[in-house]
Amino acid sequence: MRSLKTLSSIVLATTTVALGLAAPLAQAQDKVKVGIFAASSALPFYIAQERGYFKEANLDVEGVPLATHPLIVQAMVKGDIDAASNLLSLEALNINVLRPNTGFFISLNGQNAQYITEQFVVRPDSPAKELKDLKGMRILSAPGPGNMGMAKAVLKTVGLEEGRDYTMQEQQMSVHIGALKAGTFDAGYTLEPLGTMMIQQGVARRLEAGVVATHLVGRKGAFAHLAGGVVSGKFLQERPAVAERYARVWARAVNEANTDPSVRELLVKYMNTAASIAPSVPLVKYMMVRDLSPQDVEDFQKVADIAVQMGIVKSKIDVRPSLKSF
């Protein structure tokens, strides 16, 4: 018969082994890679990361900076990323035409003259007072076919044609301020927070913001959904429970982006925005897909149809299958 001391040792050893095996399992986090395009529309990602919401949901999330939206699409197709913080909607719709179910929007960013992202700016000494005054100018654009296409489409509504009335070149976001300051370009189609930064620095002045809602959707107060949070089809298919957990964290961050002014502090840390400027940077209206109204979806479809007409999106597409509600 074993002694009480021996039995106690066996119990202790067994317990220790069990705890040792269980501890790593309890601490294991699901890895998620997220492509990030450096614009204010990426803010929900930084909120969730900085405030520990991903970790609370047992997610090990890695941000992968990508300089253009086509690179985000490429990374998603290859399986190098599981999601994107702010993929341009036209790029996402185009890849879904070519390769159905590549990406699904879980949120959309509403942009207009109040919730500013895209905008035309000119040098401070420019005589331009409205968009039609950009005739004869050298214009830089935010990178990617989607941004270039929307800029050209807007100018077409005021009677300006590329080549005949102006020239346009896409430029990485990091060079917008320097290019305008140096006089290499006369005007620009740029995004936030760069728009506010160049205005505050005296490099440019805003000619008109929210131009897609006003000139393409056709209503100044409408929302132009030009980008949004995306999860890949592969992520949804292979790890649906993890994707849902990620989406629920995203919804929490979206809510705070809309309601907590202090989130602008993250622009200072992640987007080279001066602390004195950050409080005045306008933000989009972040909207989870589950909260979209029928009018929002209709307006999104209108932007997609315009993109098809311009050849940015290769063929007609119904936007609804690209929306995923959680």
pLDDT digits (tens, 9 = 90+) for 161-207: 999 999 999 999 999 999 999 999 999 999 999 999 999 999 999 99
Query: From CA 199, how far away is CA 206, in angstroms rounded?
Result: 7
pLDDT bucket at 151, cuts 50 / 70 / 90: very high
Question: What is the residue-wise DSSP string for 131-180?
Answer: GGGGTT-EEEE-SSHHHHHHHHHHHHHTT--BTTTBEEEE--GGGHHHHH
Number of other residues whose CB lies within 10 A of the CB of residue 300: 26
Number of other residues whose CB lies within 10 A of the CB of residue 176: 26
Average pLDDT value for residue range 97-125: 96
Look up residue 215 and give its DSSP letter: I
Nearest Cα residue to 230 out of 87, 44, 54: 87
pLDDT bucket at 311, cuts 50 / 70 / 90: confident
Burial class from Cβ neighbours inside 10 Å (0-12, 13-18, 19+) for residue 125 reads: exposed
The per-residue pLDDT for range 202-252, each reduced to its tens digit, is 999 999 999 999 999 999 889 999 999 999 999 999 999 999 999 999 999
In the predicted structure, residue 26 carries a pLDDT above the cut 90: no
pLDDT bucket at 38, cuts 50 / 70 / 90: confident
This model's pTM is above 0.85:
no
- Whole-number pLDDT of residue 310: 84
Q: Mean pLDDT over all residues of the chain? A: 91
Average pLDDT value for residue range 63-86: 96
Buried b (16+ CB within 10 A) or exposed e, 8-39: eeeeeeeeeeeeeeeeeeeeeebebbbbbbbb
Query: From CA 236, how far away is CA 240, in angstroms rounded?
Result: 5
Dihedral sign (CA 138, 141, 146, 151): negative
Least confident window among 8-17, 38-47, 101-110: 8-17
Please, are residues 76 and 103 in contact by the beta-carbon 8 Å criterion? yes
- Whole-number pLDDT of residue 48: 98
Please, are residues 189 and 139 in contact by the beta-carbon 8 Å criterion? yes
In the predicted structure, residue 19 carries a pLDDT above the cut 50: no
Spatial neighbors of 250 by CB under 8 A, at least 6 apart, are 44, 48, 106, 107, 229, 288
Helix (H) or strand (E) holding 63: strand 59-65
- Whole-number pLDDT of residue 21: 42
Query: From CA 42, how far away is CA 37, in angstroms rounded?
Result: 7
Q: Is 222 helix (H, G, I), strand (E, B) or coil?
A: coil
Average pLDDT value for residue range 270-275: 91
Average pLDDT value for residue range 145-154: 93
pLDDT bucket at 27, cuts 50 / 70 / 90: low
Q: Where are the beta strands (DSSP E) in 16-56?
A: 30-36
Burial class from Cβ neighbours inside 10 Å (0-12, 13-18, 19+) for residue 255 reads: middle
Q: Which residue has the tokens 């050209």?
A: 152
Look up residue 290 and give its DSSP letter: G
